Structure 1
Amino acid sequence: MIQLKEASPRAPVRARRAPDPRWRWAGLALLLAAAVYAPFQLAPFHVFQLTMVLIYSVALLGLNLLVGHAGQISLGHGAFFAVGAYAGAIMLDRYDLPYPLTLPIAAAVAFVIGLALGVPAMRLRGLYLALVTLAIAIFLVPLLKRFEELTGGSMGLTLAKPAPPAWSGLAEDQWLYFLTLVVAVVAFLVAAGLLRSRVGRALHAVRDNETAAEVMGVRLSSYKTLAFAWSAMYAGAAGCVYTWVIGFVSPDSFTVNLSITLLAGLVVGGLGSLSGPVLGGLFVMFVPSISQDVNDAAPGVIFGLLIIAVMYVAPTGLAGLAGRLLKKIPRKE
């Protein structure tokens, strides 16, 4: 007679506890308080650096919608950034519009161009889509130089920066920082709401499995095109604010290297995460300068090695690494 062994008792499986949303809101409030407090404690140059981090974060937020959430690829995001910068600069230089009005106009112009480019791009994928977007970034610089009467040609356009109002008591660098902070906060709130909606679920379905998404009734062509348009709109808004902060635009500031750097910053920061663009903005702002300080002769080599090192330590980006570290923290039952 065959005797069956008695099964050993197993420990009950504990369900993973969902993070308390109150802690998330508390963390966001603490981060926002630190962002408001920072410009009063830092030197003007460091305030400028933080302002640029916010600008790059907004641009990367749009790129994240396209790459991280819709599953598309773009090597021409710097071109949309340049479109927004020049749209804002032309509105200020040629038509003397108030600064607040240039932001929605620049975003709208970039949205329309992204929508127009998204229609043919929706039929492509992978390497072919990457080459098309790369071509956009390549031909933009000579195109800007050709229309010299409008864009200033190779010399670019020099603009006055927004002056802080007398009632604010802020220095120019602090005022520009807070303007950029307001734009960044609104951009992140809109993106968070978009991703939690039906549109966000459709983008994720397209990213994960296009065939299954189409069977479920998701219109692939519409959402792919809109993803390009939304991505371009965020980049255009960031480019417009860049014009306010720098006070100067030139075609040589928007070469293909900018597009590649933005994509690298997003991958390092973390795809598909709202915190990824912020971490990517820090990477885009500070890593090139650190590379330049390490070795003036080969900053590109140092930059590339740092990217490889980060990808080796954190394959899912810095946001994914932070998430894994937080999960290892023991919690009280």
Structure 2
Amino acid sequence: MSAVQEVTAAPALEAVPKRAMTLGAGTSLIALALLIAFPLFVKNFIIFQMTMLLIYGLAVLALNILTGGSGQFSLGQSAFYAVGAYTSAILMEHLGMNYALTLPVAGLVCFVFGFLFGQPALRLSGVYLALATFALATAMPQLLKLGYFEHWTGGVQGLVVTKPDPPETVQSVLAWAHLKMSQDMWLYYFTLLITIAIYIFSVNLLRSRSGRAFMAIRDNEIAASAMGINVALYKTLAFGVSAAITGIAGGLGAIAVQFVAPDGYTITLAISLFLGMVVGGVGWLPGSIVGSAFIIFVPNIAEGISKGLSGAVFGVILFLVIFLVPHGARQVAMVAQHLLGSLKRR
């Protein structure tokens, strides 16, 4: 077998059918109802954790579009997350822009950044592309500490971001109903609304002509090029879209945490997002929330088991998850769907 035939015969990632990328309508409505009702019964700290769950879920979803959709590996998502976070923070604190308006700006800035980075990355693939993005993630915190940008970024000390209050119209409606809404609860619902909008956009994107081009490139780049797909354009477009969504997630993260600093966006964050994608299931968009929950809550569970050996406990849990369900939450969902189908036939 020739080298070209070997490349043609071996896809980079396992193909995921378009129908398997999302949840069913009934399951989606149940999940949405739970997400809407959950903050009404918990304290503000839990609401904050759920907000971060949605934010990291967006970042994992963005990586899923890039890797699960177009087959490009990236360990540099923390760089795009940092650019989005700093864009929102600078616009809010230095220019006085409304927090909601900073998010599309952060997304646009990161889209341009990701698209431009994707141009030189076209020559790379597989582990070499992963190493290039790894270098980007490693360099970003150091770039943010440079004195040239210190006036805007705050340098090593970072920037404090003001947490927004609910809009006056919302407060008026709640006051009429003798109800109150905390800042954390408002930010959770605001983040949930944006998450739903981006999720719907992502599903439609992967089902569109561009999404089919992404998946054709993922499955076999040579065959996609032979069918007339502009491989260079769609690979850079995938990078840009993924970076834009990650930037919006970064902006939301800056608003939720109320602080941005270079050391908060190290390579550890990039690896965590990649881990979340793998645990959630590569190419399965609903798994992004599952992967986000894993990287947020499992370290706390590991620390609760053993504070001195929390890293070792986390490693054991991760090993067991990868060993038992190598395809992540998508595999669990498929098994559950099969069992439910068997019960219905009975």
Both structures adopt the same fold (TM-score exceeding 0.5) = yes
The CA deviation string for residues 210-265 of structure 1, in whole angstroms up to 9 with x for no partner, is: 11111111111011101111110010000001111111111111010000011011
CA contact (8 A) 1:78 1:254 kept: yes
The CA deviation string for residues 91-142 of structure 1, in whole angstroms up to 9 with x for no partner, is: 0111000111100000001111001100011110111111100000101111
Q: Is 2:48 the counterpart of 1:51?
A: no
**Stretch moving more, 283-292 or 227-236:** 283-292
Q: Distance in 2 between matches of 1:181 and 1:62?
A: 16
Q: Residues 12-31 of structure 1 correspond to what in structure 2 (within 5 A)? A: 24-31=24-31
State the percentage of identical aligned residues: 42
Q: Is 2:317 the counterpart of 1:306?
A: yes
CA-CA distance at 1:328 after TM superposition: 2.5
**Stretch moving more, 142-151 or 285-294:** 285-294
CA contact (8 A) 1:279 1:319 kept: no
Which residue of 1 is the match for residue 205 of structure 2? 194
The CA deviation string for residues 3-29 of structure 1, in whole angstroms up to 9 with x for no partner, is: xxxxxxxxxxxxxxxx9xxx9212211
Q: Distance in 2 between matches of 1:237 and 1:221?
A: 25
- Amino acid corresponding to residue 328 of structure 1 in structure 2: L
- Amino acid corresponding to residue 159 of structure 1 in structure 2: V
- Amino acid corresponding to residue 173 of structure 1 in structure 2: D
TM-score (norm 1): 0.91
Q: Is 2:230 the counterpart of 1:219?
A: yes
Aligned residues: 312
Q: Is 2:236 the counterpart of 1:234?
A: no
Which residue of 2 is the match for residue 274 of structure 1? 285
Which residue of 2 is the match for residue 332 of structure 1? 345
Q: Distance in 1 between matches of 2:73 and 2:311?
A: 23
- For structure 2, which runs of at least 5 residues remain unmatched after alignment? 1-18, 175-179
CA-CA distance at 1:303 after TM superposition: 2.1
Q: Distance in 2 between matches of 1:299 and 1:215?
A: 50
CA contact (8 A) 1:75 1:263 kept: yes
CA-CA distance at 1:304 after TM superposition: 2.1
Which residue of 2 is the match for residue 293 of structure 1? 304
Q: Distance in 1 between matches of 2:158 and 2:305?
A: 31
- For structure 1, which runs of at least 5 residues remain unmatched after alignment? 1-18
CA-CA distance at 1:298 after TM superposition: 3.1
Which residue of 2 is the match for residue 316 of structure 1? 327
Q: Distance in 2 between matches of 1:292 and 1:249?
A: 25
- Amino acid corresponding to residue 148 of structure 1 in structure 2: E
Which residue of 2 is the match for residue 155 of structure 1? 157
- Amino acid corresponding to residue 35 of structure 1 in structure 2: L
The structure whose Rg is larger is: 1
The SS at the match of 1:328 is helix
The CA deviation string for residues 45-89 of structure 1, in whole angstroms up to 9 with x for no partner, is: 111111111001111111000111111100111111111000000
Q: Residues 134-153 of structure 1 correspond to what in structure 2 (within 5 A)? A: 134-146=134-146, 147-153=149-155
TM-score (norm 2): 0.88
CA-CA distance at 1:295 after TM superposition: 2.2
CA contact (8 A) 1:84 1:237 kept: yes
CA contact (8 A) 1:266 1:280 kept: yes
